[in-house]
Amino acid sequence: MALWGGRFSGQSSELFKLFNDSLPVDFRLLEQDIQGSVAWAEAITQAGVLTQEECQTLTQALAELLAEVKDTPEQIIASGAEDIHSFVESQLIAKVGDLGKKLHTGRSRNDQVATDLKLWCKQEGAHLLSLLIEVKQGLLALAERELDAVMPGYTHLQRAQPVTFGHWALAYVEMFERDISRLQDALNRLNTCPLGCGALAGTAYAIDRQALAASLGFASATLNSLDSVSDRDHVIELCSDASISMMHLSRMAEDMIFFNSGEANFIELADNVTSGSSLMPQKKNPDALELIRGKAGRVYGSLMGILTTMKALPLAYNKDMQEDKEGLFDVMDSWSLCLKMAALVLEGVKVNRTNALAAAQQGYANATELADYLVGKGMPFRQAHHVVGEVVLHAIAESKPLEALPLEVLRGYADIIAEDVYPHLSIDSCLAKRNILGGTAVEQVKAALTAKQAK
Residue 193 vs residues 41, 46, 109, 222: alpha-carbon distances, Å: 16, 18, 14, 5
Under the binding rule (CB under 6 A), the answer on residue 255 touching ligand ARG is no
Q: 366 φ, ψ to 5°?
A: -100, 15
Report in angstroms how near the CB of residue 214 gets to ligand ARG at its nearest.
Answer: 24
Judged by CB under 6 A, which of 35, 110, 245, 352 binds ligand ARG?
Answer: 110
**Binding mask of the shown chain, residues 65 to 104, with x at each position contacting ligand ARG by CB under 6 A:** ------------------x---------------------
Under the binding rule (CB under 6 A), the answer on residue 321 touching ligand ARG is yes
Q: Which is nearer to ligand ARG, 235 or 342 (CB)?
A: 235
- The beta-carbon contacts of 64-68 under 8 Å, at least 24 apart in sequence, are 64/95, 65/34, 65/91, 65/92, 65/95, 66/30, 66/31, 66/34
296: Cβ contacts below 8 Å, ≥ 6 apart: 243, 246, 247, 249, 250
Under the binding rule (CB under 6 A), the answer on residue 113 touching ligand ARG is yes
Amino acid at 160: A
**Binding mask of the shown chain, residues 19 to 48, with x at each position contacting ligand ARG by CB under 6 A:** ---x---x----------------------
Tell me if 413 sits within 8 A of 391, measured CB to CB: yes
Per DSSP, which regions of 138-218 are E strands?
150-155, 158-164, 192-193
Q: Which helix (H) or strand (E) holds 283?
A: none
Q: Which is nearer to ligand ARG, 135 or 316 (CB)?
A: 316
Report in angstroms how near the CB of residue 240 gets to ligand ARG at its nearest.
Answer: 21
Judged by CB under 6 A, which of 56, 59, 265, 322 binds ligand ARG?
Answer: 322
Q: How far apart are CA 274 and CA 263, in angstroms?
A: 18
Active site residue 394: no
Report in angstroms how near the CB of residue 234 gets to ligand ARG at its nearest.
Answer: 14
Q: Which is nearer to ligand ARG, 118 or 136 (CB)?
A: 118
Tell me if 173 sits within 8 A of 134, measured CB to CB: no
Judged by CB under 6 A, which of 165, 317, 335, 373 binds ligand ARG?
Answer: 317
Q: Which is nearer to ligand ARG, 35 or 110 (CB)?
A: 110
Tell me if 243 sits within 8 A of 128, measured CB to CB: no
Q: Which stretch binds ligand ARG (CB under 6 A): 51-59, 317-325, 351-359, 373-381?
A: 317-325
Active site residue 108: no
Under the binding rule (CB under 6 A), the answer on residue 61 touching ligand ARG is no
Instruction: Say which of 130, 181, 275, 277 is annotated catalytic.
Output: 277
* Strand 158-164, strand 150-155: pairing: antiparallel
Report the catalytic residues: 156, 277
Residues that bind ligand ARG (CB under 6 A): 22, 26, 83, 109-110, 113, 317, 319, 321-322
